[in-house]
Amino acid sequence: MDKKECRDFAKWLASPFFNQRQDVVDLFQYLMAADHLETEKFLEKERIYKKLFPKAAYDDAKFRQIVHFLYKQLEQYLAYQEIQDDKFAFSSAYLKALRRRKVVNVFLSKQRQLEKEGLGGIALDAQGLEHSFTLAAETYTLLLGINKTKDEHLLGSIESFDVKFMADKLKHACLEASHNKVFKTNFQSKFIDEVLAMINSEPELLRFPAIAVYYYGYLIQQKDQDRDADYFLFRHTIREYTHVFSTSELKDIYLIALNYCIERTNKGTFSFIRELFDIYKECLQTGVFIQNGVLSSVTYMNIASAGIRLKEFGWTKEFIDTYAPYLEPGNRENYHQYNLGKLLFEQKKYAEAMQLLFQFDSKHILLNFNAKTMLMKMYYESGEENALDALLDSMRIYLKRKDVIGYHKAVFQNTLKYTKKLVRLNPYDKEKRMALRTEIETVSPLTERPWLLEQLNKM
């Protein structure tokens, strides 16, 4: 828990409505004091018990009971926090209470209020549709109990359930499709074909954002045909209904779009690099990538790489500097330095890039080698032969010392091998130059192939 949650939980424990045990309060206060949670000696049971009951002998059963009650209070507090974050959760529970007590006028007044707030409408996420169904079902049950129900009330309940079911089915089918791609599984969602057929026969169902976004999200993950048209409908739906979805759900939706763009880019449709970049920008604007105040280093790297690839240098520089403070403290300096160095390298500002990348040292082997590869290119292009020779030797030793996964090891070994051949090549020997070109064009894996061929062409 963060500091605010700790303060709020302390207030929760202090309320006699939730907790009437002082020993539970005392235990929590002890655990929160100084560095008690981080230091092993302060977590010894006998030591804690002595603090709670200075004059009593240690009683293990009693101590376990106090810990149990504290844990149960924490459980309830965290559940309460989740319910509080759900806009309609308390209202749905309140409606059930009113219906059970048959407080008809108050129930109907609350029903009208919730409908004005959007419940029962179309601009709802899956959770909102769940509460819409609750509203319709509770209304029907209440009126049935006092003999005032009409066919339309039951019909409203049935339609709400159908919409909720289709939205949920499509959402989970999207998750299943994503899982199948990543983990090479072949899960088959039941009833998905029936849901798709229903939407195709009743396209007005797509006016519900929670159905539309997952309908298109599901379609673009199918491989039976070109899905670009569905992708752009998916993107349009996301833009139009961003406000409908929670931050966590919106992140999952954006990831579907990002994965599609990456897949299309890998297949050679480079216009999707711009799409990828635009989605990253939207994700930053909506804050979906920041969780508990932290941006993952992988996401930080991906966004910077997309900006650099599109030569959006000004925007990328601002991003690298602005979002570095959101990285985990242990990674912050390294990732900021690496991405800034990469940006300067792509801008051909070699003197500044060399200074940053020469100092770069990370526990991340691939990052280290990528940084050294950029240095290698700059030394070669700048004609710094001594620095290049020393670097190539250090890279060879580094690669031998480190435990590098097979594919990456082969990539780096080939990079070193053909850079050394390039350095030693007599530029006036046409036959050897052509032979080296053939080798570079055919060897695999070799991610630096374009750069090596470019240097050959300059000879």
Return left, alpha or beta for 446; rule: phi > 0 is left, psi -120 to 50 is alpha, else beta. beta
Look up residue 182 and give its two tokens: 């990543």
Tokens 């209202």 sit at which residue? 91
- Going along 9-117, which residue ranges are E strands? none
Q: Hey, what amino acid is at 190?
A: K
Low-confidence ranges of the chain (pLDDT < 50): none
DSSP reduced 3-state for 43: helix
Pick the closest to residue 236 from 217, 262, 259 (CA basis).
217
DSSP states along 406-427: HHHHHHHHHHHHHHHHHHH--T
Cα(338)–Cα(51) distance, rounded to whole angstroms? 49
Distance of CA 407 to the CA centre of its chain: 26
User: Residue 292: what pLDDT?
Assistant: 87
Strand-pairing partners, residue 290, are 295
With b for 16 or more beta-carbon neighbours within 10 A and e for fewer, the 77-92 pattern comes to beeeeeeeeebbbebb
Burial (0-12, 13-18, 19+ Cβ within 10 Å), 387 = middle
Pick the closest to residue 157 from 111, 101, 194 (CA basis).
111
In the chain, DSSP finds a helix count (H) and a strand count (E) of 22, 2
User: Residue 157: what pLDDT?
Assistant: 93
User: Residue 7: what pLDDT?
Assistant: 95
The CA–CA distances, whole Å, from 265 to 62, 275, 299, 316 equal 62, 10, 17, 20
Look up residue 7 and give its two tokens: 């303060």
Q: pTM (2 decimals)?
A: 0.85
User: Residue 181: what pLDDT?
Assistant: 82
Tell me how far apart the terminal alpha carbons of the chain are, to the nearest angstrom.
Answer: 61
